[in-house]
Amino acid sequence: MDSLIISASVALGIGLAIGLERERSQAADGSSEAPAGLRTFALVSLSGAASAMLSSGLVLPAMLLGASLLTAVSYHRSAGHDSGLTTEFALLLTLLLGALAVSQPELAAAIATVVVLLLHGKSFLHHIARRVVTREEMSEALILAAAALIVWPLLPDRYMGPLDAWNPHAIWLVVLLVLLAGAAGHIFARLFGDRLGLPVSGLFGGFVSSTATIAAMAVLSRRSAARIHGPVAAALLSSVATYVQMLLLLGATSLSALKVLALPLAAGLAVIAVFGSIWLWRSWHEARGGTEGLPGGRTFDWRGAAAFAVLFAVLQLVGAATQAWAGNEGLLALAIGAGFADAHAAATSIGSMVGAGKLEPPAAVWPVLGALTANTVSKIAASAAGGARFALPVAIGLVLSTGATWAAAWLQRLA
């Protein structure tokens, strides 16, 4: 009995929430008499719950059919002054959500929340669809969706080629990350302007892939060569995410490894954060006198992403050759080889070895720093696609931060 009361209460809440939004929305649109409001939606949701509680399996389909006929009649009567179907479909969905609340009240409440948000966000969503997103951006978004949802799952997820260095599934993932980082930078820049949008997208993109983010910013800097500070700030701030993520992963795998690596990584983090902040300040003042945001042109550059994928494949081959030359006992060489592609993976594996007692904490310092240095080389190589004006400040910031990491490690060793 208690569960039925809870389900009925959830169904009533769903109907009241959706009905309140519909009645307020239609009143704001100037409708003197809403075809379906607070009471109607509440009754429909409770009807769905009652239908689901009854033992007969035909009651709910009959209720859904009846509600469909009533909404069709209501739409026909109001078609002269309201051509939308939103309220009618919301009414049918409310019936189904009321029925769902009987068996899965949490899921029904969550879906109802999304429904209310969609209904309430009508003006914002219409503004995005009609004024913000261009036709070209929509086409490119569909292409990106096809690349992620159709092409990527079909690629083989195994290593092949010379020294088994290449994984097509992983390489295509890198292409997607570069495209997504570029699209995020484009969207943030259009929404918030160059002063804030690009640096913010760079910082958050770094948690996905700092190297891919730098490659995307390099491509973007060529498109807006007159305004270089925003892409540079985004590239540098993406490396802030690298250091933060390495500290978090080491802390999750081994506190002992984190203890010996905290000072070196914190030193590198401080340097890259200061350097990135300088370029962020320059970006803020650079964009102040110009037009906010970027034009609604191309969202990403396939050629730039493909070029970076080729570079990534070459670095993977270099890493595989390094591993083959060093053997399994050459931990530093293995870490360097892995670091060309991903410093986080190398740091995590070494931290796991320390946590498992297979490696002493002091012995983890140099392999982790080696992986970080190799990853810095990859980032500098990726930045070259943006030309000297972009690559030089990015390379200086990366080299200084990596140098600070090594210097702090040496001082810690001598202390």
Q: What is the pLDDT of residues 186-226, one digit of tens each?
A: 676 666 665 677 788 788 778 777 888 898 888 888 776 65
Predicted local confidence at residue 140, as pLDDT: 80
Per-residue pLDDT band at 181 (split at 50, 70, 90): low
Q: 367: which 2 tokens?
A: 């392999």
Per-residue pLDDT band at 294 (split at 50, 70, 90): very low
- Cα–Cα dist 247/236, whole Å: 18
Mean pLDDT of 325-330: 56
Q: 241: which 2 tokens?
A: 């995410």
Mean pLDDT of 372-394: 91
Mean pLDDT of 163-173: 80
Mean pLDDT in the chain?
A: 81
Predicted local confidence at residue 316, as pLDDT: 62
Predicted local confidence at residue 339, as pLDDT: 80
Mean pLDDT of 144-158: 90
Whether 328 has a pLDDT exceeding 50, the answer reads no
- What global pTM score does this model have? 0.57
pLDDT tens readout for residues 81-135:
555 678 888 888 999 999 999 999 999 999 999 999 998 888 888 777 777 677 7
Predicted local confidence at residue 395, as pLDDT: 95
- Cα–Cα dist 132/54, whole Å: 48
- Cα–Cα dist 340/374, whole Å: 5
Where is mean pLDDT largest: 82-86, 154-158, 333-337?
154-158
Mean pLDDT of 329-353: 74
Whether 177 has a pLDDT exceeding 60, the answer reads yes
- Cα–Cα dist 200/234, whole Å: 7
3-state secondary structure (DSSP) of residue 166: strand
Is 339 in contact with 372 (CB distance < 8 Å)? yes
Predicted local confidence at residue 326, as pLDDT: 60
Estimate to the nearest angstrom the gap between the alpha carbon of 224 and the chain centroid: 24
More confident residue, 212 or 394: 394
Q: Which long-range contacts (CB under 8 A, 24 or more apart) does 221-228 make?
A: 221/386, 221/387, 221/389, 221/390, 222/385, 222/386, 222/387, 222/390, 223/297, 223/298, 223/301, 224/194, 224/294, 225/387, 225/389, 227/194, 227/286, 227/287, 227/290, 228/389, 228/390
Whether 22 has a pLDDT exceeding 90, the answer reads no
Mean pLDDT of 228-248: 89
Whether 30 has a pLDDT exceeding 80, the answer reads no
pLDDT tens readout for residues 66-81:
888 877 776 666 655 5
Is 189 in contact with 293 (CB distance < 8 Å)? yes
Q: Which of 130-139, 154-163, 236-245, 381-390 has the lowest mean pLDDT?
A: 130-139
What percent of the chain has a predicted confidence (pLDDT) above 90?
A: 27
Per-residue pLDDT band at 23 (split at 50, 70, 90): confident
Q: How far from 82 is each of 67, 75, 85, 88, 129, CA to CA, in Å?
A: 19, 8, 8, 11, 21
